[in-house]
């Protein structure tokens, strides 16, 4: 297992287009998180899965955002009708239940033009 994998690493899209990102967590980890990070800021929580169940969503996650983890393994984050304000690094992390500490992926850098 090589850690948390995110694809693509970079995505440039035109405003109004839909984009989808994928995260493959560490296989033994049952918790999966999505965070968003803008330049010069710390990561902001978006949503969290325990196995296939989405247990918590931030107010930052507008109705244009949807996340899934259909089989409790990989997860996808989709953004519909992208806006320039969606430009950010989208980070995925995984952890054991009750473990103190995330393992982050390298992120997907989204640029909306």
Partner 1 sequence: TQLLEQSPQFLSIQEGENLTVYCNSSSVFSSLQWYRQEPGEGPVLLVTVVTGGEVKKLKRLTFQFGDARKDSSLHITAAQPGDTGLYLCAGELGTGNQFYFGTGTSLTVIP
Q: Between 45 and 74, whose beta carbon lies closer to partner 1?
A: 45
Is 32 a binding residue for partner 1 by CB under 8 A? The answer is no
Distance separating alpha carbons of residues 73 and 89, to the nearest angstrom: 22
CB 36 within 8 A of CB 46: yes
Least distance between partner 1 and beta carbon 57 (Å): 11
Print the binding letters for residues 61-100 with partner 1: x by CB under 8 A, - otherwise.
Answer: ------------------------------x-x------x
Q: How many helices (H) and strands (E) does the chain have?
A: 0, 11
**CA dihedral defined by 81, 113, 44, 99, rounded to 10 degrees?**
80
Least distance between partner 1 and beta carbon 104 (Å): 3
Q: Between 18 and 99, whose beta carbon lies closer to partner 1?
A: 99
CB 29 within 8 A of CB 54: no
- The set of residues, in sequence order, having a beta carbon less than 8 Å from that of 88 and lying 6+ positions away, is 36, 37, 38, 109, 110
Q: Between 8 and 16, whose beta carbon lies closer to partner 1?
A: 8
Judged by the rule CB under 8 A, the positions of this chain that interact with partner 1 are 4, 31, 33, 35, 40-45, 48, 50, 55-56, 91, 93, 100-107, 109
């Amino acid at each position: 297992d090589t850690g948390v994998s995110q694809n693509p690493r970079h995505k440039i899209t035109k405003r109004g287009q839909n984009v989808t990102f994928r995260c493959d967590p560490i296989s033994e980890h049952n918790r999966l998180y999505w965070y968003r990070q803008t330049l010069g800021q710390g990561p902001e929580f978006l949503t969290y899965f325990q196995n296939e169940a989405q247990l918590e969503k931030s107010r930052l996650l507008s109705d244009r955002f949807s996340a899934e983890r259909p089989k409790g393994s990989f997860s996808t984050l989709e953004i519909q009708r992208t806006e320039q304000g969606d430009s950010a690094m989208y980070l995925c992390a995984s952890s054991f239940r009750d473990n103190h500490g995330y393992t982050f992926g390298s992120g997907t850098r989204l640029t909306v033009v």
